[in-house]
Structure 1
Amino acid sequence: MEAALAKTPEKRQVVFIVVLLLLWEAGSEAIRYSMPEETKSGYLLANLAKDLGLKVAELTTRGARIHHRGNKELLQMDAETGNLLLKEKLDREELCGATEPCVLRFQLILENPVQFFQTDLQLTDINDHSPEFPHREMLLKIPESAQPGTVFPLKAAQDPDIGSNAVQNYTVSANLHFHVVTHSRADGRKYPELVLDRALDREEQPELTLTLTAVDGGSPPRSGTTTVRIEVVDINDNAPQFVQSLYEVQIPENSPFGALVVAVSARDLDVGPHGNVVYSLFQGDGASLPFVIDEVTGEIRLKMPLDFEATPYYNMEIVATDSGGFSGKCSVAIQKEKISKCQLEEKSPGLVRH
């Protein structure tokens, strides 16, 4: 009998908890409060006794207490005054993330007799975060063949704030080639796209650096920036050009095989494979030439002996061709080197008459 009586308070507590849980799930019309996030601790949120139509003394005699859904006690009640006070500063982003509205639910429980009041606290957002891009720099590789109007997606900035305090607009630093357009996703978040206004020319400007800025709608607004680095990718839009259009050379008739006649040079403003050139040698009349050209270096050397009596003058065309088929031309004119009387005496003194 005594054991049964001893269990009675425990049973009552279990029943009390079950009733509270049922009431919690069933819910009742809640008393709603609202305040901005980041409000300092100790803030007077409300007077519960007044709002619930109770006398302040009832809060003590009836065992009033605040029950939070979470483990953390965010609010506290002064039983002597009935005031509901903020226990610590609240961060909306920490408590609710992107969920909107951010509502914290708690209960005022009167234990004797049992009475239950549902209370909701809505935290409103303040502009306490600046937009931040995921990286300090973005790299875009854009071919110089891209046409005006081409769109290039950019990574969006993140801002934990919501509504008008979130990112509202993107801008880009002044330049001649691009502007930025701000678009909205289905969830209202904004993202940027870069639009080409003027064709790029790698030979004129191989790289551009822009500053992308994200601005929120707070008052005053906050902003964040990142660097957009644009590498202009080369296309084969330039033909090789020779340093000289005409090379005039004089060589001795008795020059040995393999002797260097002249080295021609062409350059191509394109880079990589597009800028590599191959040299070839032609003569207009199709006759065989006693010369050969190195297709890589442009060096022209002697290959069969020279016979200036038979051919007093050699005129040939050199073509430089890049990998895309663009080419440039120059002419090489070769004639016999004139030998002075003194040079002739040094080479054949016995043949010189005094």
Structure 2
Amino acid sequence: METPLPKAPQKRQVTAIIIVLILLILWEVDGMTIKYSVLEERESGSYVANLAKDLGLGLGELEARDARILSKGNQQYLQLEQKSGNLILKEKLDREELCSDTDPCILHFQVLLKSPVHFIQGELQLLDVNDHAPEFLENEILLKISESSHPGTAFPLKIAQDLDVGSNTVQNYTISTNSHFHLFTLNHSDGRRYPELVLDKALDREEQSELRLTLTALDGGSPRRTGTSQVLIVVLDINDNAPEFAQLLYEVQVPENSPVGSLVITVFATDLDAGTYGELSYSFFQSSNQVIQAFEINAVTGEIRLKKTLDFEEIRSYRLEIEASDGGGLSGKCTIAIEVMDVNDNAPELTMSVLISDIPENTPDTVVAIFGISDPDSGENGKMMCTIQDHLPFFLKLTVENFYTLVTERALDRESQAEYNITITVTDFGTPRLKTQHNITVTVSDVNDNAPAFSQTTYTLRVRENNSPALHIGSVSATDRDSGANAQVTYSLLPPADPQLPLASLVSINADNGQLFALRSLDYEALQAFEFGVRAADRGSPALSSQARVRVLVLDDNDNAPFVLHVTLRGDI
């Protein structure tokens, strides 16, 4: 349970409010970047940070704005608990698998907030733990040294590989106690540590033709991890010419789509010695795992070929150290700088973040979809354009880099068109051009924007007098262009304009179909015609209605005999 913090003085409270306001202003700007760090190999569900607190949002605001975490492609490393605001790991992360030798290991993500739409850039730095020990690629390192070598001569040894980075990778080397050599740990230009054996006391092949020492690599983690390899030193007779390469530096470009087995380059060295002292053998020297996995060298010819297909998007360049050794233990070295050339071998990718497939009519500027696009190629091959078909009432709006919003261009009318099929096309500028298409269907939902319409503004009905009660005397009809409940029509009688007309006892109307009925027998001699209004209303919210007039004419029937009104008599009586 958390302990409540003591109340700060008034001055500190004002300062805190100002800081919060500044943070809120920064938060509104899409360029803000939030940065977190977490150790690798932590369990899924581990707490990273409270995103709501870091963004200065109140409790429940992340959920109200439908906050979500977006990552490139479909790789999701983080998960957001909207109610608590906690950012947690979605899965256990392995730094070596995700970033290899790259340090620092940064995983990029975005925070999407809706209503209104805001994007916030995020970085998760994956910190290394010392979960790998140094490892030599060979259990035994063969070193041939001439007995004529002078004290102080240095002999570089092959390095150990450690998948960890920073202080957790190889920091130091030691050699087992002996009377002839001591060891230095030196730094490469790329930061890697390598061991160098230095001769303290001259060797005598006749006295001792071989020495076997133990080379130990130590990392800087806690606790420290180590790896060992045996160094076999063979003492040779004098060999006074070392191999020499034609060039100290070779530069070569290799397209990333080159097939496995392709020749990259052939190196060549010469040795002025004869016999076994002049026989050369080529090999990689102090090479990284990446080099060994990607290339192979022919020890006799010096040909370097591809061992696997290169991927520009994964590694853009390699640096190879090549050693030519003669039969007498002397060697020469050269460097090969390989530049991987990008080929347009990746089609653009589209990742849909938000999709609203049902939108109401009569609503302009409605967000239909939010999506991101990406292309791992470089240069023109990685540049993209995003389009939809012409003549659609929608447009694409670029929100932040490579994130688009699909928005209605104007208010839609369901009665004109109830459904739209939209194809989003993402095309790169490479040669040949590659594209990705994503199809979405948008349905326009009905709004009650049409009142029922009568087929006639005035209806005239004729009924012969002395009719039977409940006689069907005619019908009115109205239709509604809307759908669902908005199109369901209900009929009713309007109050008569003449308050003396007993309309309620004369006619009735069927509310569902508009049929009119005479409620009693009509008498032409009493009522020759009457008029009333009818109303048609839909069941929308709010309901819409219209009116029409109905005139009923009563037709005469010969139902009365003549009778004498007055008799006059004339004459004499």
Is TM > 0.5 for Structure 1 vs Structure 2? yes
Query: How far apart, CA to CA, are the structure 2 residues paired with 1:180 and 1:58?
Result: 71
Selected match of 1:175 from 377, 391, 409: 391
Answer whether contact 1:77 1:83 (CA < 8 A) is retained: yes
Q: Does 1:326 align with 2:544?
A: yes
- Assess, with a 3 A threshold, how the Cα gap between structure 1 residues 63 and 38 changes in structure 2: closer, same or farther: closer
Answer whether contact 1:29 1:118 (CA < 8 A) is retained: no
Deviates more, 1:32-41 or 1:329-338: 32-41
RMSD: 4.2
- Assess, with a 3 A threshold, how the Cα gap between structure 1 residues 329 and 78 changes in structure 2: closer, same or farther: same
Selected match of 2:160 from 2, 7, 21: 21
Matched length: 320
Q: Which residue of 2 aligns with 1:39?
A: 258
Q: Does 1:335 align with 2:565?
A: no
**What pairs with 1:1-354 in structure 2 (closer than 5 Å)?**
20-21=159-160, 25=170, 28-29=188-189, 34-48=253-267, 64-65=283-284, 69=289, 73-92=293-312, 96=314, 101-102=315-316, 123-131=340-348, 133=350, 140-147=357-364, 149-157=365-373, 159-166=375-382, 168-175=384-391, 177-185=393-401, 190-282=402-494, 283-286=496-499, 287-289=501-503, 290-322=506-538, 323=540, 324-339=542-557
Deviates more, 1:194-203 or 1:238-247: 194-203
Offset at residue 202 of structure 1 (A): 1.5
Q: Which amino acid aligns with 2:160?
A: L
Offset at residue 86 of structure 1 (A): 1.6
Offset at residue 157 of structure 1 (A): 4.9
Answer whether contact 1:317 1:331 (CA < 8 A) is retained: yes
TM-score when scaled to structure 2?
0.47
- Assess, with a 3 A threshold, how the Cα gap between structure 1 residues 263 and 105 changes in structure 2: closer, same or farther: farther
Offset at residue 222 of structure 1 (A): 2.1
Offset at residue 176 of structure 1 (A): 5.2
Query: How far apart, CA to CA, are the structure 1 residues paired with 2:290 and 2:422?
Result: 47
Long gaps (5+) in structure 1: 1-9
Answer whether contact 2:141 2:158 (CA < 8 A) is retained: no
TM-score when scaled to structure 1?
0.72
Offset at residue 166 of structure 1 (A): 3.0
Offset at residue 41 of structure 1 (A): 3.3
- Assess, with a 3 A threshold, how the Cα gap between structure 1 residues 132 and 63 changes in structure 2: closer, same or farther: closer
Per-residue CA deviation, residues 182-230 of structure 1 (Å, 9 max, x unaligned), is 4443xxxx23322333332221222233332211121343223333433
Q: Which residue of 2 aligns with 1:6?
A: none
Query: How far apart, CA to CA, are the structure 1 residues paired with 2:478 and 2:536?
Result: 7
Identity of aligned residues (%): 26
Q: Which amino acid aligns with 1:81?
A: T
Answer whether contact 1:20 1:116 (CA < 8 A) is retained: no
Answer whether contact 1:152 1:193 (CA < 8 A) is retained: yes
